[in-house]
Amino acid sequence: YASYSKHLDELGDLVQGWDSYGSDPPSETAIQDAHAILNILSLISKPPSRIAPLADGGVIIWFNKEGRVECLNNGRITIEIGL
């Protein structure tokens, strides 16, 4: 999980417009929340398939077709589970 944690920290280096469309970078809150989710995932041995910035600000943690967790810049966390 160290590589996922490092990637999350690197997302904190993104700047306004990181995607060339004016998107907000992930906030410190979103990155901290994503780290907390990642810590829980490590305890249950459930690695994510991908971690990426969200175009509207925040971080998304993907689990292939099983679901996703979005840690938004405003501190809100949304979870979608595919059944």
**Per-residue pLDDT of the chain in tens (83 residues, 90 and over written 9):** 899 999 999 999 999 999 999 999 999 999 999 999 999 999 999 999 999 999 999 999 999 889 999 999 999 999 999 86
Describe the crossing of helices 2-11 and 28-43 by its angle, rounded to 10 degrees: 170
Burial of 33 (0-12, 13-18, 19+ CB in 10 A): buried
pLDDT at 83: 66
pLDDT at 82: 82
Domain boundaries defined on the chain: 2-81
